[in-house]
Amino acid sequence: MSNRAIGKDTAKLSFSEIFTLTISMISAMLLSRFRTLEEYGTYSQILLITNLAMTLLMLGLPNSINYFLSRATNQFERDKFLSTYFVFSTILGLLIGLILILSTNLIVEYFNNPMLKTFWFVLAFYPWSKLIISSVSKILIVYNSSNKLIIYKISNGIGLIFIIIIVQLLNLEFFYYMILFVFVELLFTFIVYLIVSKKIQKFHFSMEFAYLKMIFAYSVPIGLASLVGTINKQMDKLIVGRYFSVKEMAIFTNAAKELPVTFIALAFTSVGLPVIISFIHKNEVEKAILLWKKIIIISFLFLAYFTVGIFVFAPDVITLLYSDKYIDGVLVFRLYSLLLLMRFTYFGMILNALGKTKFILYSSIFTLVVNLILNIAFYRLFGFIGPAIATLVSVFLMQLVQLIVTSKLTKINFSSLFPWKDMFIILVITIIIGILMLQIKMLLPIEIYIGSILESILLACIGGVALIFIYYKKVYKLWKDLNNYY
């Protein structure tokens, strides 16, 4: 593939991911408004259950597609892999559904929510659907079919939004929404089978166990790392689902939802990591650290602005996104907004470049254990906000440990790893701007004319302009410096 084609495909796939995130956010916003807290809480519990079951039992299988399909040298090998993969994935997906149905009483007892029994069909078929649908993007990327992938994702997203609106317009019960939700997902599952059938010349309705063993040898370690990360991420919701009501689960789920504003940090990580790895391999560690620092300053500035804005105007942000039914989650929402301050970079970037992936896994397991202990302890100490505090503390500890180890391995002082002074100044300036905007909101009756939400948006924009005015020259210089690395 040419460089130009790679660039075009990257742009297309980035658009596809942004669109998927947007659809997910719009779905949450519409369901939050149109359904009761009990219904949305039940919906959140179903997604939590299926996500955990999928991560636990699918053995990292979708991760094998890129590796085995890309290395296949002829059509026979591609047919062999796809046949084995889809026969096993279909059996595994349906088996996960069966396990969930047999575990329904335990699930109902854990969440103390009898309504979950009503939606047995979601537990039965959604895991299979999700496993198959999660495979299509990797397959189409390998086959250079990014246009088809975009069409597929847009169609799927529009279908999911459409059924929410239809159910609301027809004033149908939540039960019928869940039926339509499963129907749409199953429809797009069969479309995946159709897409794959056109890529295969001869499908084999069998599994080669020796070949399956090779797939597992590759995918299971990745699956274990993914499992640790997923449980760690969902720990707070598991605790809230166990000890609080379905209504409180609904409120906590939305309050804990991480807003999709970390894309700039993810983009810098994707682009910067290969360059940093190159410096590390050349034993130019100081150059790698310097590049990392420049990336951090831009990312931190961007995320500090959003963090302060979301924190200051939290009641209006919640009302805008989910409606005032979720206003009781303001404190939890504010606590989770602080997580954005720890998402400005991938803290394991240098460790990854040094090949210390095992340590990254061990630190994730350590964080999982700490997170579990803190979630239970803080729930007893602080109640509803306890799991949110526990998540903040455990994420901070993991990142601190990774930085300490990075410092020791690179023999660079901890104080020199990050641009701490620049970060502190950025944080102070954004906090001052946030306080000033809040004071203006409290003193001037602007909301009388445009409403509280528009007032907050206006003040946030004014704060953003002020920050741009202060940091324009510095960011421009850093941007030019970063471009010189390529």
Average pLDDT of the segment spanning 408-424: 88
Same domain, yes or no: 157 and 259: no
Strongest mean pLDDT among 74-83, 191-200, 305-314:
305-314
Q: Identify whether 446 is part of a domain.
A: yes
Same domain, yes or no: 217 and 332: no
Predicted confidence (pLDDT) per residue in 215-226, tens digit = 888 787 777 777
Query: According to the model, what pLDDT value does residue 36 have?
Result: 94
Query: According to the model, what pLDDT value does residue 393 have?
Result: 93
Q: Identify whether 234 is part of a domain.
A: no
Name which residue leads in pLDDT, 367 or 438.
438
Average pLDDT of the segment spanning 333-339: 94
Taking a C-beta distance cutoff of 8 angstroms, is the pair 65, 251 a contact?
A: no
Same domain, yes or no: 258 and 397: yes
Average pLDDT of the segment spanning 251-279: 78
Name which residue leads in pLDDT, 486 or 369.
369
Query: According to the model, what pLDDT value does residue 274 have?
Result: 67
Same domain, yes or no: 257 and 219: no
Strongest mean pLDDT among 96-100, 132-136, 281-285, 347-351:
96-100
Distance (Å, rounded) from C-alpha 24 to C-alpha 365? 28
Same domain, yes or no: 297 and 390: yes
Predicted confidence (pLDDT) per residue in 86-142, tens digit = 999 999 999 999 999 999 999 999 999 999 999 999 999 999 999 999 888 888 877
Same domain, yes or no: 268 and 387: yes
Q: Identify whether 310 is part of a domain.
A: yes
Last residue of a domain, one of 204, 227, 250: 227
Name which residue leads in pLDDT, 221 or 322.
322
Predicted confidence (pLDDT) per residue in 62-76, tens digit = 878 877 887 777 888
> Taking Cα atoms as reference points, which of 339, 388, 405, 396 lies closest to residue 367?
396
Averaged confidence pLDDT in the chain: 87
Sign of CA pseudo-dihedral 354, 358, 364, 370: negative
Q: Identify whether 305 is part of a domain.
A: yes
Query: According to the model, what pLDDT value does residue 313 have?
Result: 96
Query: According to the model, what pLDDT value does residue 382 have?
Result: 95
Distance (Å, rounded) from C-alpha 191 to C-alpha 355? 39
Q: Identify whether 233 is part of a domain.
A: no
Instruction: Indicate the range of 7-11, 103-107, 367-371 predicted with least confidence.
Output: 7-11
Taking 90 as the threshold, does the pLDDT of residue 378 lie above it? yes
Q: First-to-last CA distance in the chain?
A: 20
Q: Identify whether 54 is part of a domain.
A: yes
Cα→Cα distances 358→270, 355, 363, 396, Å: 20, 8, 9, 20
Distance (Å, rounded) from C-alpha 269 to C-alpha 65? 23
Distance (Å, rounded) from C-alpha 445 to C-alpha 451? 10
Average pLDDT of the segment spanning 233-248: 94
Name which residue leads in pLDDT, 214 or 442.
442
Average pLDDT of the segment spanning 318-335: 95
Same domain, yes or no: 434 and 291: yes
Predicted confidence (pLDDT) per residue in 78-93, tens digit = 888 888 889 999 999 9
Distance (Å, rounded) from C-alpha 156 to C-alpha 13? 15
Taking a C-beta distance cutoff of 8 angstroms, is the pair 298, 268 a contact?
A: yes
Q: What percent of the chain has pLDDT over 70?
A: 93
Number of alpha carbons in the 13 Å side-chain half-sphere of residue 248 = 17
Same domain, yes or no: 139 and 261: no
Name which residue leads in pLDDT, 15 or 423.
423
Same domain, yes or no: 195 and 279: no
Give residue 128's domain range.
3-227
Last residue of a domain, one of 227, 260, 287: 227
Taking 90 as the threshold, does the pLDDT of residue 255 lie above it? yes
Same domain, yes or no: 357 and 428: yes
Taking 70 as the threshold, does the pLDDT of residue 327 lie above it? yes
> DSSP label at 257?
P
Taking a C-beta distance cutoff of 8 angstroms, is the pair 207, 189 a contact?
A: no
Same domain, yes or no: 23 and 146: yes
Distance (Å, rounded) from C-alpha 306 to C-alpha 427? 11
- Residue 167: burial class (beta carbons within 10 Å; 0-12, 13-18, 19+): buried
User: Which residues neighbour 436 within 8 Å (Cβ) at sequence distance 6 or greater?
Assistant: 463
* Helix (H) / strand (E) containing 414: helix 414-417
SS3 content of the chain, % helix, strand, coil (to 5): 85, 0, 15
Give the confidence band of 350 by pLDDT, cuts at 50, 70, 90: confident
Give the tokens for residue 277.
């790895």
Last residue of a domain, one of 192, 227, 262: 227
Distance (Å, rounded) from C-alpha 335 to C-alpha 256? 9
> Taking Cα atoms as reference points, which of 167, 198, 168 lies closest to residue 82?
198
User: Which residues neighbour 62 within 8 Å (Cβ) at sequence distance 6 or greater?
Assistant: 131, 134, 135, 138
Same domain, yes or no: 165 and 254: no
Q: Identify whether 405 is part of a domain.
A: yes
Taking 70 as the threshold, does the pLDDT of residue 5 lie above it? no
Name which residue leads in pLDDT, 400 or 10.
400
Q: Identify whether 235 is part of a domain.
A: no
Domain count, the chain: 2
Taking 70 as the threshold, does the pLDDT of residue 271 lie above it? no
Taking 50 as the threshold, does the pLDDT of residue 9 lie above it? yes
